[in-house]
Structure 1
Amino acid sequence: MLDGLRARSISIAITEKDRRHMDAIPIARRLRIMRRIMCRPPTEEQHLKGNTNYVKAILKLRATGLRLIDLQRQETAFTAIWYRKSTSVLGLLMSEAIALVVWELNERDEEITTLRIWRT
C-alpha cells in the first residue's frame, strides 16, 4: 500500500499544467490513443529500480514534448500515459509518440518504474 509520503512525492511530478492539459483532452480521444497502444508491442521498453526513476522518466518525457493525457492511481501503483503528435506544415501527421509510465511498489517495498514507448 502506498504511504502518504510516497504518494505525495510521486504525484508532485505531475504538475497542475499537466492536469489541466489532461482534463482538456476528450475521453473519446484518450480511449482511441490507448487502444492503439494495446494493439501492438512497444518500440522501446525499460524497467528501472529506484525511488527517483519515475520522476526522472516524467521529466524526460515532458522535456521531449510529450503531454499527459491520462493518470490512474491504484493501491500500489501509478500509471501515466503521455502523448505527442507532430504535424507537417500542411497539417498532415508526421510522427506520433505515446509513452506509458508505470510506477509500482513490489512486495519487498522496492520501487519499480516501467517505461514503454510507441512511435509511428
Structure 2
Amino acid sequence: MELLVASAVGILTAAGIYLILRQRTFPVILGLSLLSYAVNVFLFATGRLAVGAPPVLNKYKEVAYTDPLPQALVLTAIVISFGMTAVVVMIALASYLSSKTDKINMTEEQTAGDDA
C-alpha cells in the first residue's frame, strides 16, 4: 500500500513539473493542478495508512487509528486549490483574449513571426 501511494505521489509530481515547464498556459495550469493533487495525496498519507480503521480513538481498546488532522488539511487544500485554479484560468483567459496567443514568451522583444 505504501509503495502504491509513494508511486502515485512521484508520478503526479513528475507529470506536474513536466507540464509546468511547457510554454503554453493550459499545460501550466494542468501542471499546477497535478502538483496540488500530489501534495494532497502526500498530506493524506501522513495520517497513517490504516485500511478500515476508525478515525476516532477508543480509550478502552488499543487499535490502529487514522489521524483526522491530515484529512481536514487535505479537504481545506482541495477547496483552496479549486478556487486558485479558477482564478488562474480566468487570468490565462484574459491574457489569451488580449494577446491572441497562449504562448508564454520569456524574451522582452517579440518578433512578428513568433505567433506560430
TM-score, length-scaled by structure 1:
0.26
Structure that is richer in helix per residue: 2
Structure that is richer in strand per residue: 1
> Which entry has the higher C-alpha Rg, 1 or 2?
2
Higher relative contact order (CA 8 A, sep 6+): 1
